[in-house]
Amino acid sequence: MVEYLKSAPGLPPQSSGDTTDTVQIMLARLKTGKEDAVREYSAKLDGWDGDIVVSPEQVERASLLVPETLKAEIRYAYDNIRRFAEAQRASAMDFETELRPGLIAGQRQIPLNAAGCYVPGGRYAHIASALMTITTARAAGVPNITACSPPRPGQGVHPAILYAMSLSGADRILALGGVQGVAAMAFGLFGAPEADILVGPGNQFVAEAKRQLFGPVGIDMFAGPTDSLVIADKTADALTVAWDLVGQAEHGYNSPVWLVLDDAELAAKVQAHIPACIAELPEPNRSSAQAAWDALGEILLCENREEMAQMADHYAPEHLHVQAADLDWWRNRLNAYGSLFLGANTTVAFGDKASGPNHVLPTSGAARYTGGLSVHKYLKTVTWQRVEDEALPALARATAAISRAEGMEGHARTADIRLERVQSPLQAVVNS
């Protein structure tokens, strides 16, 4: 029996109609007005009237502004992300198999031609998002990678983001944010090819633009606010758990954090630590974390670990952090999450920034049916088949019979004509 020691009152109702309408109007204008419309929106919304296409010389100058110590840490994170993505790529293999004598089928893994990677750069400089999206596309073998990030008035794209974009292998970089940045990549503006897929996190306008463009253009996923769930038992440290909840709540007022445990004493200790942890944050992080915890934070007390696992699967969090004994049991039992963080040492922030697996993950319960961004998102798994004469009679008879049962005579005739062709030489031999 699950007891809610802290329930989430939820956020006030908000209408998404305004966002949907605004983005629809913008995309229509951007599609017809092209680069002129992009520049207009960039000046109006981002206060940017400088170069849209960031030159290699500009990237080099910006990189000089990044401290060498930070560059070294970015390279460390990049190396982990690249190695993990390359290992994923190696697991996606072409193959062929002979299903029956003369019936051969197979699959190929074909990289997409062009990717558009959106890197947020407004309130926070999302250096790690550049590494996650671009590096993974490059490891998948995508030959054309365009990246964009919002410019700051009078400054342009954040220097560390530019350094990360260049390090990760972006072919071209656009100083663009918001809907206009997404549209520029989707529509193939400023010298970029039309994107086959749009990836990367963003605000509600970026997410809505990706949603409306989806169909002719692929996207990584429909993304909502980030969320995180911690599973803890009596072996967990209360202060560590509290900071892990607060650390994820600082993403924003609409970012849920949940704690699932089986120890009432631990729950009380964690809840007691949280106000002090929030108070230590600088503004505006403090206000964001407080708002998220007040409106969306929950603490669930369960009777045993199986009930805890059931609740975790029900929530299907983007980030699932287990701070409990017997980690192998949890790894084998849990089934619905974007990424799993096992053990007290393995904070979600490691995955967000530097450990290797991708941080672009399903939110809002979507982890019930999908995983996060990976090289597989940048690959098309296509199939092929070839039929030799020895396999043709049985295959043609089955196809014709099923086609006629479905009422599809034309399909049946395409099988019949091939059956007649291989039977005719045999009939000639019989007649002789």
For 223-253, the DSSP string reads --S--EEEEE-TTS-HHHHHHHHHHHHTT-T
Query: Tokens at residue 396, please?
Result: 């043609």
Chain segment 285-296, per-residue pLDDT in tens: 999 999 999 999
Q: Tokens 């209408």 — which residue?
A: 15
pLDDT of residue 16: 61
Half-sphere exposure of 163 (CA within 13 A, CB side): 22
For the chain, helix, strand, coil in percent to 5 are 50, 20, 30
Q: Tokens 């939110």 — which residue?
A: 363
Specify the CATH architecture of the domain 225-371.
3-Layer(aba) Sandwich (3.40)
Q: For residues 70, 151, 131 and 359, what is the CA-based torsion angle, rounded to 10 degrees?
A: 110
User: Residue 217 carries which DSSP code?
Assistant: B
Domain boundaries, the chain: 17-220, 225-371, 389-431
Please report which confidence band the pLDDT of residue 309 belongs to, taking 50, 70 and 90 as the band edges.
very high
User: 283-290: long-range contacts (C-beta < 8 A, 24 or more apart)?
Assistant: 284/123, 285/250, 287/253, 288/249, 288/250, 288/251, 288/252, 288/253, 288/255, 289/246, 289/249, 289/250
Average pLDDT of the chain to the nearest whole number: 95
Chain segment 352-384, per-residue pLDDT in tens: 999 999 999 999 999 999 999 999 999 999 999
**Residue 286 and residue 292: Cα distance in Å, rounded?**
10
Residue 145 near residue 381, CB atoms below 8 Å? no
Query: Does the domain formed by 17-220 have CATH 3.40.50.150?
Result: no
The reply to whether 17-220 and 225-371 are identical in fold is yes
Query: Is residue 149's pLDDT more than 90?
Result: yes
Task: State whether residue 55 is helix, strand or coil.
Answer: coil
Task: State whether residue 154 is helix, strand or coil.
Answer: coil
Among candidate residues 126, 158, 251, 319, the one labeled active-site is: 319
Among candidate residues 208, 250, 298, 318, the one labeled active-site is: 318
pLDDT of residue 423: 82
User: Catalytic: 283?
Assistant: no
User: Catalytic: 318?
Assistant: yes
